[in-house]
Structure 1
Amino acid sequence: MNTIITILSVLVALEFFYIMYLETFATTSPTTGRVFNMTADDLQNEKIQTLFKNQGIYNGLIGVGIFYSLFFTHNYHNSLLAIMIYIILVALYGSFSSGNKSIFCKQGTLAVIVAILLLIS
């Protein structure tokens, strides 16, 4: 069970590092526009770029927190569960506040699976 939790948690962390990459380093790329459903003109806006880069740092730190919990703590279950619950809540908020229900599926599904596995292990 711990191996499955570790593998799925690493996938969640990689997802958040990818989001960080899009928001912080590839702010004006067509992929970023497609992922966030934004036009090229929107992505050129300096205020949006600043907001994206700030949000990207938060997403990257979520990934760092997952790796830290997995590889640098002795009993990672509690800290990892807290991070997964945070991700689930943020995904729910993002889905409802944006009106895009697929955000929860894309951003929260793996976290839900990890949280369930942590609770039953």
Structure 2
Amino acid sequence: MNILINTLSILVAIEFFYIMFLETFATTSKATGKTFSMTAKDLANKKVQMLFKNQGIYNGLIGIGILYAVIFTANSRTLLIPMMVYIVLVGLYGSLSSGNKMIVVKQAGLAIITLILMLLS
């Protein structure tokens, strides 16, 4: 079970690194526009780019925190459970605040599965 939980946790980290990439380095790309349902005009706005880049750093830190917990801690669940709860809460907030109910599935789906497995084992 630990191998499955660690694997899913690493996948969650990779997902957050991808979000960081879109927000921080590919701010004006078509993939970023599609992912966040934004037009090229929206993405060209310098204020939007600044906000995205700032948010991207936070998403990258979530990924780093997950990898740190999996690789460097003896009891990774001590750090992973709060991080997965946080990701689920952020996904729920994103769904509620945007009106797009699929955000929770897209952003927090893997974290929900990982959290359930940790709580059940």
TM bucket (normalised to shorter chain) is: over 0.9
Q: Give, in whole Å, the separation in 2 of the partners of 1:46 and 1:104.
A: 28
4+ residue segments displaced more than 2 Å: none
RMSD over equivalenced CA pairs, Å = 0.5
Structure 2 residue 44 is matched with structure 1 residue 35: no
Q: Provide, for residues 39-60 of structure 1, a one-character-per-residue CA deviation record: whole Å limited to 9, x for no partner.
A: 0000000000000000000100
Percentage identity across aligned positions?
64
Count of residue pairs the alignment pairs up: 121
Deviation at 1:73, TM superposition (A): 0.7
Deviation at 1:78, TM superposition (A): 1.6
Structure 2 residue 69 is matched with structure 1 residue 69: yes
Deviation at 1:26, TM superposition (A): 0.1
Spell out the pairing of 1:1-121 with structure 2 (5 A cutoff): 1-121=1-121
Q: Which runs of 5+ in 1 are unaligned?
A: none
Q: Give, in whole Å, the separation in 2 of the partners of 1:64 and 1:58.
A: 10
Q: Which runs of 5+ in 2 are unaligned?
A: none
Letter in 1 for 2:65: G
Deviation at 1:77, TM superposition (A): 0.8
Deviation at 1:117, TM superposition (A): 0.8
Q: Give, in whole Å, the separation in 2 of the partners of 1:78 and 1:113.
A: 17
Letter in 1 for 2:34: R
Q: Give, in whole Å, the separation in 2 of the partners of 1:23 and 1:102.
A: 19
TM-score w.r.t. the length of structure 2 is 0.99
Deviation at 1:98, TM superposition (A): 0.6
Secondary structure, aligned partner of 2:114: helix
Letter in 1 for 2:27: T
Letter in 1 for 2:97: S
